[in-house]
Amino acid sequence: MHQLITNLMLKKLNNPILKELSDSARLPYREKIAFTTDSFVVSPLAFPGGNIGKLAVCGTVNDLVVAGARPEYLSLALILEEGLDCRLLEKIVESIAVYCRRTGVSCVTGDIKVVEKGACDKMFINTTGIGRMVKTRPLSVKNIKAGDRIIITGEIGQHGMAVLSKREELGLRLNIKSDCRALDSLLLPLLKKIQGVRFMRDPTRGGLVSTLHEIIQATGLGIRIEEKQIPVSGQVKVACELLGIDPLYVANEGCAVVVVAGKSAKKALRLLKKHPLGRKARLAGEVISKPQGRLILETRLGTQRLLEMLTSEPLPRIC
Amino acid sequence: MHQLITNLMLKKLNNPILKELSDSARLPYREKIAFTTDSFVVSPLAFPGGNIGKLAVCGTVNDLVVAGARPEYLSLALILEEGLDCRLLEKIVESIAVYCRRTGVSCVTGDIKVVEKGACDKMFINTTGIGRMVKTRPLSVKNIKAGDRIIITGEIGQHGMAVLSKREELGLRLNIKSDCRALDSLLLPLLKKIQGVRFMRDPTRGGLVSTLHEIIQATGLGIRIEEKQIPVSGQVKVACELLGIDPLYVANEGCAVVVVAGKSAKKALRLLKKHPLGRKARLAGEVISKPQGRLILETRLGTQRLLEMLTSEPLPRIC
């Protein structure tokens, strides 16, 4: 994926905005506008804690929010397989409507394509979002400095394990709910009230480790995280052990990595913890100048472990 | 499709911008912004005159242009089937890059999802576009009055028949090229120079008749078109007769229906005909106050025929 993006996409479609590889593009209109797109191909379409419709709205809202924008408008494009259960479609559109309302987003334009049976697996959704930047100084990975602290706003691994538990072929009975939710009400006040928020990202595909490695690659710095400070629920821990999966690499859809200046870190954490979606937030790591390019996990045992970037997708169609 | 949109989408996602059902949503930022989305599921991926990449860029550009906006930014979301030929992907991305450059559009954000073999048919593309409105008074179907004239800017039916000719199961050898192309250079100058352009739309799925019926439904007026004034190439005519298809219902990707005030119609036609993409333009019809709600074709024989709206999709996966 990384090679596809850098060797093909960036090379052919090269322009200064795309090059940023931000969650949202920043467009230089008079109101600074953020612009982001995502296709959703999750399987199954419904899972504990959500469905593809809720996932699409919340995912796009979150991509705008972590870029520092207040979500305003959404486009919605559906690709439907002929013969799709109409009640399921209705339920999914209902979820889209509910989460648009809750986040104050208007779905203003759309497209529907129907393909013949077998040409797509039930239903894919694309949502593209537009929002207005809430800060004049944009959040950017380029703002990050050694000494900055890393906050994780919620328990990790919930989404990936919830979807996995519903895959028919696995026949698992885990009682895990996806964290799928919109983070606008958690993160936008943080931007208003806390100076020194450098960068935010929601660790979706590839999980926490992939997000931290993106920061490392973009800054050339290193990151140290503490295992005992990383919020993971007991259920996710057990399920991951059972399946031989590391929760640090599992997709999330309702928590964020927030990089904040050292001196603002505790204040930011306090603010996040006051919000229902931030109660499990933790100061879990630090940006370090040396060793460069490394992601170091300080384990519960007091040892250090290098966390490598994923080379292959462990859980396909998780979002 | 019509029922799906009005009974499900409009009902659940109801808001004033969506209700317009325009090719592009108009967003009330300080620079008036147009916003449009389309998924492309055309099969096969390449056809005479284009491929899915060119189609996606030109289709989205055209949706902005017919809304009266200058296309500026594009998002690009790919859904790829595992095992897709990399050279084909590269060729398609190259086309995307070429047509972005030619239309002055920057592809600023994107997403790639890979699904397992069998979960999608090779490749789907979503492009969502943003542009800046070039006129303060927006084009709208609501501006249309009885007495307005209807211009068709190019030969119809080319795209649908070109794609159809490449369908393996048909084994046809037609020498028809899709009209797939961007209409920015043809239509934006028209908006600048001609007062009295009321409304424009590119007659894609469902062809010319569907676009005219949309106008009829939205205005409550009627439309009369003259068969001998509708530009159709000899090749498309022959192929359509052979297959028992009416070219008036076949998808286009490089011509537009322009509704213009009666007194500006000839001037608009002259201007269009000066442009290489408008040489085949014709004044083909008129908006009439009676009979209401009817689309009347005056045939070559001097008789009249009522053209009904399509009730089913005749050519699936045409775009």
User: No. of H helices and E strands in chain B?
Assistant: 10, 14
Contact B77 A121 (CB under 8 A): no
CA distances from A72 to A26, A103, B27 (A): 14, 9, 10
Q: Residue B127 pLDDT > 70, yes or no?
A: yes
Across chain A, mean pLDDT equals 94
- Asked whether residue A150 falls in the same domain as residue A236, the answer is yes
Residue B12 forms part of a structural domain: no
B44 prior amide bond cis, ω within 30: yes
- Asked whether residue B228 falls in the same domain as residue B275, the answer is yes
- Asked whether residue A145 falls in the same domain as residue A228, the answer is yes
Q: Residue B289 pLDDT > 80, yes or no?
A: yes
Residues of A numbered 50-89 whose beta carbons fall under 8 angstroms of chain B's beta carbons: which are they?
72-73, 75-79, 89
- Asked whether residue B103 falls in the same domain as residue B192, the answer is no
Structure tokens at A220: 């050339």
Is residue A211 within a helix (H) or strand (E), and if so which, with residue range?
A: helix A207-219
In 3D, which of A25, A24, A184 has the Cα closest to residue A100?
A184
Residue B289 forms part of a structural domain: yes
* CB of B170 less than 8 A from some CB of A: no
Query: Residues in chain B, how many?
Result: 319
Residues of A numbered 85-114 whose beta carbons fall under 8 angstroms of chain B's beta carbons: which are they?
89-90, 93-94, 96-97, 100, 106-114
Single residue among B133, B151, B180 that ends a domain in this structure = B133
Q: What is the pLDDT of residue B315?
A: 77
A291 prior amide bond cis, ω within 30: yes
- Asked whether residue B128 falls in the same domain as residue B43, the answer is yes
Helix B52-66 to helix B86-103 angle, to the nearest 10 degrees?
30
Pick among A70, A80, A113 to test the B interface (most B CBs inside 10 A): A113
pLDDT > 90 in chain A, percent: 86
Q: Residue B313 pLDDT > 70, yes or no?
A: no
CATH code, A159:
3.90.650.10
- Cβ contacts of residue B34 below 8 Å, gap of 6+? B24, B25, B26, B27, B64, B67, B68, B69, B129, B130, B131, B132, B133
Q: Residue A313 pLDDT > 70, yes or no?
A: no
Residue A5 forms part of a structural domain: no
- Asked whether residue A263 falls in the same domain as residue A119, the answer is no
- What is the per-residue pLDDT across B167-193, written as a single tens digit (0 to 9) for each? 877 777 888 999 999 999 999 999 999
- Asked whether residue A154 falls in the same domain as residue A112, the answer is no
Residue A1 forms part of a structural domain: no
Angstrom distance (rounded) from CA A203 to CA A185:
18
Beta carbons of A286 and A275 less than 8 angstroms apart: no
Contact A130 B130 (CB under 8 A): yes
- Asked whether residue A146 falls in the same domain as residue A295, the answer is yes
How many domains, chain A?
A: 2
- What is the per-residue pLDDT across B49-62, written as a single tens digit (0 to 9) for each? 999 999 999 999 99
The dihedral built from the CA positions of residue A57, A58, A60 and A65, taken in this order, carries a sign that is: positive
- Asked whether residue B126 falls in the same domain as residue B145, the answer is no
B291 prior amide bond cis, ω within 30: yes
- Asked whether residue A242 falls in the same domain as residue A152, the answer is yes
Single residue among A133, A159, A191 that ends a domain in this structure = A133
